[in-house]
Amino acid sequence: MTATAKLGAAIRAEAAACREEALERLRELAALDAPSGDAALLASTADLLSRRLTELGAAVRRIVTPAGDHLEARIGPDAPGGVLVLAHYDTVWAAGTAEARPLRVADGIVHGPGVYDMRGGIVAALTAVGILRELEVLDRPLTLLLTADEETGSRSSEAEIRRLGRRAATVLVPEPPLPGGALKTRRKGVLGYDVHVAGRAAHAGLEPQRGVSAVSELVSLIATLEAAARPDLGTTVNVGVVHGGSRPNVVAANAVAEVDVRVATMAEYERMTALLEGLAPGRPGASVDVRLVHRRAPMERTPAIAAAVATARTLAASLGLELAEGAAGGASDGNFLAPDGVAVLDGLGPDGGGAHALDEHIHLDSLVERVALLAMLIARA
């Protein structure tokens, strides 16, 4: 038996033995509300995770920001190379959700807010680290970065993600996988902008000719944006929120649209960025102010990602697992790193479904499998 096969057998046995422990760790997390943007509520989850990381022997640095505290935990030497585990602990669920919908298990399915995106992945990673320490095989630099603002664009954590990701040999992202457990080796990029239009108010009955309708101008701009979509290339445009004007008898002086653009390639990312940032009014007297909210470049399947997937498949085989791969429409923090040639393995969390929905869930068997897979990747990828 090879050394990899022996390690795989040992990790597989330890992961199976940790089944109930992992479930209880997940129950602890699911009992806490952690809505993006609420620093006070996020602090309770950060406190819990900091304690768990310290118990694993990590040196924890708490990065305080108005959006919430990010946790950087190091095990082993502070040196380039090694592994970065990249995860976020904020959720889309409002305060009170944890009490209203506590974690429950039925027929091997774990239901609860945030268990799929991505508390299950966090628990799998922490349990994996515990197994490696128990087996005394964690002999390379390991960093875990747990962030508080991924669901709202990672604006306060992006610099830390880039700093740590560029130092790592491999970045493991325990976000939810594709259905069936496949890795996400391609992710769309996201462009989020607010388009503000200023016109000129006037009485709609007495002097409409003196007015410049910001609403009409915005409608024209929306048509321009929607016409630029290229679904055949994976480029979509969604104007999800629109508001403007003050009264029906007043020519609208102001209007705003919140725009979400998804792109599959860097070429489309650059094209749509130029279009959005170059929007100009077509009506005399109107003005346009385009404001960036957040953006992530697409995660294309780079040579570094392809090589990491090949290694991951070999290591997964030592656990008796097969790994497929595919593309996802949503983005993750891995998007920040892939364009720089970083070896990113994304979609390593447990299989399940219902992200951001009332039926959010994971499969308990998959949680155990992902514990083993993450342990193997941390040790050998």
Tell me, yes or no, whether 322 and 285 share the same domain.
Answer: no
Tell me, yes or no, whether 246 and 137 share the same domain.
Answer: no
Q: Which domain holds residue 23?
A: 3-187+299-380
Predicted local distance difference test score (pLDDT) of residue 242: 98
Q: Which of 246, 267, 296 is the last residue of a domain?
A: 296
Asked if 244 and 214 touch (Cβ cutoff 8 Å), the reply is yes
Tell me, yes or no, whether 286 and 311 share the same domain.
Answer: no
Tell me, yes or no, whether 48 and 174 share the same domain.
Answer: yes
Tell me, yes or no, whether 281 and 331 share the same domain.
Answer: no
CA–CA distance, 13 with 11 (Å, rounded to integer): 5
Tell me, yes or no, whether 24 and 121 share the same domain.
Answer: yes
Q: Which of 265, 280, 296 is the last residue of a domain?
A: 296
Q: Which of 296, 312, 345 is the last residue of a domain?
A: 296
Tell me, yes or no, whether 287 and 358 share the same domain.
Answer: no
Q: What is the largest CA-CA distance in the chain?
A: 90
Q: What is the CATH number of the domain that holds 276?
A: 3.30.70.360
CA–CA distance, 205 with 249 (Å, rounded to integer): 7
Tell me, yes or no, whether 200 and 59 share the same domain.
Answer: no
What's CA 253's distance to the chain center, in Å? 37
Predicted local distance difference test score (pLDDT) of residue 1: 80
Helices and strands of the chain, counted as H and E runs: 10, 16
Asked if 124 and 175 touch (Cβ cutoff 8 Å), the reply is no
Tell me, yes or no, whether 252 and 373 share the same domain.
Answer: no
Q: What is the pTM of this model?
A: 0.93
Predicted local distance difference test score (pLDDT) of residue 295: 94
Q: What is the CATH number of the domain that holds 372?
A: 3.40.630.10
Total structural domains in the chain?
2
Tell me, yes or no, whether 204 and 344 share the same domain.
Answer: no
Tell me, yes or no, whether 285 and 324 share the same domain.
Answer: no
Tell me, yes or no, whether 171 and 206 share the same domain.
Answer: no
Backbone phi, then psi, for 11, in 5-degree steps? -65, -40
Per-residue confidence of the chain (381 residues) as pLDDT tens digits? 899 999 999 999 999 999 999 999 999 999 999 999 999 999 999 999 999 999 999 999 999 999 999 999 999 877 788 999 999 999 999 999 999 999 999 999 999 999 999 999 999 999 999 999 999 999 899 999 999 999 999 999 999 999 999 999 999 999 999 999 999 999 999 999 999 999 999 999 999 999 999 999 999 999 999 999 999 999 999 999 999 999 999 999 999 999 999 999 999 999 999 999 999 999 999 999 999 999 999 999 999 999 999 999 999 999 999 999 999 999 999 999 999 999 999 999 999 999 999 999 999 999 999 999 999 999 998
Burial class for 79, CB neighbours closer than 10 Å (0-12, 13-18, 19+): exposed
